[in-house]
Chains A and B, each alone.
Chain A
Amino acid sequence: MRKRNHRSLITSVILYSLLALTLVFVFFPLYWMLVTSLKTPIEANELPPTLIPRIPTLDAFKFLLERWHYPEVLLNTFVIATFSALGATILSGMAAYGINRLHFPGRSAFYGFMVATLALPGMVTIGPIFMTYKDIGLLDTRLGLTLVFLSGGLPLAMLVVFSALNSIPRDIDDAAAIDGCSWFDTLFRVMLPIALPSFVVSFLLLFIHAWNEFLFAYILSVTPEKRVLTVRLFEMPNRGDVYLPQYDLIAAGGVLVLLPIIPILILGQKRLVEGILAGATQGT
């Protein structure tokens, strides 16, 4: 924002201190989780707390990997997040194309409907969904959860793809038509390649959302093998032999849930920011 290259020393000191303060506020809780996960149960309860683990150990991780059925649960989470994000992106991509490029009765009502349902709290719908799932046998299945998250991701996916399509000038469609492209060619040879990055953005956003969701996953799964990671966080196993608060386990559990999606953030940071902006700023 400032044009001048020379900032007074005092301003610099203030700005950097504020930045440091912000980063400590944001990062310290995560740092604390990480170091606590590497402590022994006894050190995790020690007074005063140690900022760096004295004897780093992976015991808490070993315990959780076993008791959480981590491989199965990780696979569940991964499969559900992948397929729901993929499905929602494809369905919403189709809808976004239709609404953005074609003219038909109810066009803007469909758009309005998709966005309006964003305001519907999950808590309001989950009771009936639970009852229906129980009746039709979708309770406690991966398919059931995938469908719930797919539906949940549709509006955001549509906003993201819609805003990408909106930025493709309509002249391109016309030019393609004049050059003799059928609508099919226009869609797959012209539009799709240009809009593809927004599909990636949408997929990544929805994957993270599905990975992080708790309420639906908690209600709609019953057996431990069908659980997903966030639900596991809520069901901390008891170590039994150590009669101490299990801070190390809580922390290690957190690391196990967070770690698999950190690469997505590192590799896809730019795309994710694009997606956040597209999802939020469609209306302004």
Chain B
Amino acid sequence: MAQAESALSPTRSRTRHEAGFFAKYWMAYLLVLPAIIVRFAYTIVPLFRTLWLSLTNMSITNPGEFVGLRNYAMLFQDELFINSLGWTAVYTISATLIETALGLAIAVLLNQKLRGQSTAIFIVMLPWVIAPMLASNVWKLLLYDSTGIFNQTLTVAGFSRVPWLSDPFWARVSVTLVSVWKNVAWVSLIFLAGLRSLPKEVLEAAEVDGAGPFTRFFRVSLPLLQSTTLLILLLRGMGEIQTFEQIYGLTMGGPGTSTRTLALLAYERFFTEFRYGYGSAVNMWLFLFAALVGFYYSWKLYQAAR
């Protein structure tokens, strides 16, 4: 017990070199390792197995043998993979940008002194508690081509119907729309907190100097929110790049292959065609792109924690 205290108080720990490593740190590792081990078992171990699988030609009919980088070479001749890669990029960038911009706008609006503010915040939060699969069901009811209320409203207003889910272009629009609806709540909350923590004196000083509300927003608030904005872009980018559930629920990647993100492609190769090797190679690309965004983010966190 006495030795454990040395780890608890950093000032004293340096002087106790005579204490063994185990005696000195057992308490700390006992606290930290259970979480680390569980997390390791469910992330790093399967990740390496995916890497290994991606170098084999294993499938449901084939126990698999090592084929080197053949799966990766095949991917670049696979038009479906290239298309899916392109769509994932377009989707990730557009959904992230729209969510961030719209979320900022909503946060600014919620930050004004308006009646019913707390009710409004509650309502804006609702999509955040909704399962992605549920979000796609909710929107299906609105978007159905024949009898969905969107098309009904358009018809009544004298416009022609929009093939929301059956035309490749519109299906992509719909899928993005649902993601924006679902995720804008989270973005607004983070921005709202950011806006509320802005130094009041600076904003008041700008007002005294005669800056109008727009000047104050674009010249004062927005620059001060820079790190919040970066954080939101990174976290949302990380989320959108791996989107599976909403799209699977709404279009299952269709019509055709138009809304098939990398995650959906990997899912199909692995779990519906049972081509474990090939599906894993798709997954390794997905991992690579998510990691590029994610490790930059965690690097910033890591620096902050030191």
Chain B residue numbers with a CB within 8 Å of A25 are 181
Are A283 and B301 touching (Cβ within 8 A)? yes
Q: Does A152 contact B (CB under 8 A)?
A: yes
Smallest CB separation, A104 vs chain B (Å)? 4
Are A233 and B304 touching (Cβ within 8 A)? no
Smallest CB separation, A277 vs chain B (Å)? 5
- Among A1, A99, A118, A219, the one with the most B-chain Cβ atoms within 10 Å of its Cβ is A1
- Among B110, B149, B207, B241, the one with the most A-chain Cβ atoms within 10 Å of its Cβ is B149
Chain A stretch 149-174: residues in CB contact (< 8 A) with chain B: 150-152, 154-155, 158, 173-174
Which of B5-13, B75-83, B168-176 is the interface stretch?
B5-13
Main secondary structure of the interface of A (DSSP, over half): helix
Q: Does A223 contact B (CB under 8 A)?
A: no
Chain A residue numbers with a CB within 8 Å of B123 are 23, 26-27
Contact of B190 among A26, A102, A245, A277 (CB under 8 A): A277
Q: Does A124 contact B (CB under 8 A)?
A: yes
Which of A59-67, A68-76, A195-203, A209-217 is the interface stretch?
A209-217
Contact of A276 among B186, B204, B241 (CB under 8 A): B186
Which of B65-73, B129-137, B158-166 is the interface stretch?
B129-137
Are A154 and B109 touching (Cβ within 8 A)? no
Contact of B1 among A27, A182, A254, A276 (CB under 8 A): A182
Are A15 and B7 touching (Cβ within 8 A)? no
Q: Mark B37-51, 1 if CB is under 8 A from A, else 0.
A: 011111111110110
Q: Mark B166-207, 1 if CB is under 8 A from A, else 0.
A: 000000000000000100111001100101000000011001
Known contacts: A115-B302, A123-B263, A230-B134. The answer to whether A186 contacts B8 by CB under 8 A is yes
Known contacts: A94-B34, A118-B294. The answer to whether A15 contacts B114 by CB under 8 A is yes
Q: Using CB atoms, name the residue of chain A closest to B296.
A: A119
Are B302 and A108 touching (Cβ within 8 A)? yes
Question: For chain A, which range describes its interface: under 10, 10 to 19, 20 to 34, or 35 or more residues?
Answer: 35 or more
Are A119 and B126 touching (Cβ within 8 A)? no
Q: Does A145 contact B (CB under 8 A)?
A: no
Q: Using CB atoms, name the residue of chain A closest to B139.
A: A29
Chain A stretch 108-152: residues in CB contact (< 8 A) with chain B: 108, 110-132, 147-148, 150-152
Contact of B120 among A19, A92, A114, A154 (CB under 8 A): A19
Q: Does A95 contact B (CB under 8 A)?
A: yes
Contact of A212 among B50, B131, B139 (CB under 8 A): B131
Q: Does A79 contact B (CB under 8 A)?
A: no
Complex CA–CA separation, A1 to B24 (angstroms)? 52
Are A101 and B32 touching (Cβ within 8 A)? no
Chain A residue numbers with a CB within 8 Å of B110 are 19
How many residues of chain B are within 8 Å of chain A by beta carbon?
117
Smallest CB separation, A112 vs chain B (Å)? 4
Complex CA–CA separation, A108 to B299 (angstroms)? 11
Known contacts: A112-B302, A261-B129. The answer to whether A150 contacts B109 by CB under 8 A is no
Complex CA–CA separation, A18 to B203 (angstroms)? 23
Q: Does B59 contact A (CB under 8 A)?
A: no
Smallest CB separation, B81 vs chain A (Å)? 15
Complex CA–CA separation, A132 to B46 (angstroms)? 9
Chain B stretch 132-153: residues in CB contact (< 8 A) with chain A: 132-134, 137-142, 144, 146-147, 149, 152
Chain B stretch 214-253: residues in CB contact (< 8 A) with chain A: 216, 221, 227-228, 231-232, 235, 238, 241-242, 244-245, 248-249
Smallest CB separation, A20 vs chain B (Å)? 10
Q: Using CB atoms, name the residue of chain B closest to A213.
A: B131
Smallest CB separation, B277 vs chain A (Å)? 10
Q: Does A269 contact B (CB under 8 A)?
A: yes
Chain B residue numbers with a CB within 8 Å of A253 are 137
Chain A stretch 223-264: residues in CB contact (< 8 A) with chain B: 230, 233-234, 245, 247, 250-251, 253-254, 257-258, 261-262, 264
Complex CA–CA separation, A282 to B156 (angstroms)? 49
Contact of A125 among B42, B111, B184, B267 (CB under 8 A): B42
Complex CA–CA separation, A26 to B122 (angstroms)? 11
Q: List 24 A-B contacts (CB under 8 A).
A: A1-B111, A15-B109, A27-B126, A33-B141, A94-B31, A98-B32, A102-B8, A119-B290, A121-B286, A121-B290, A124-B283, A128-B50, A150-B38, A177-B9, A183-B1, A183-B4, A213-B131, A214-B133, A230-B134, A233-B249, A272-B125, A273-B125, A277-B190, A283-B297
Residues of B within 8 A of A (CB): 1, 4-5, 7-10, 13, 24-25, 27-29, 31-32, 34-36, 38-47, 49-50, 53, 106, 108-114, 116, 120, 122-134, 137-142, 144, 146-147, 149, 152, 156, 181, 184-186, 189-190, 193, 195, 203-204, 207, 213, 216, 221, 227-228, 231-232, 235, 238, 241-242, 244-245, 248-249, 263, 266-267, 270-271, 276, 279-280, 283-284, 286-287, 290-291, 293-295, 297-298, 300-302, 304-306
Those 7 A-B pairs whose CB atoms lie nearest each other, nearest first: A119-B294, A212-B131, A121-B242, A98-B31, A151-B42, A128-B46, A128-B49
9 A-B pairs besides A182-B1, A233-B133 with CB distance below 8 A are A1-B216, A29-B142, A91-B35, A124-B284, A154-B38, A219-B271, A230-B131, A266-B122, A282-B304
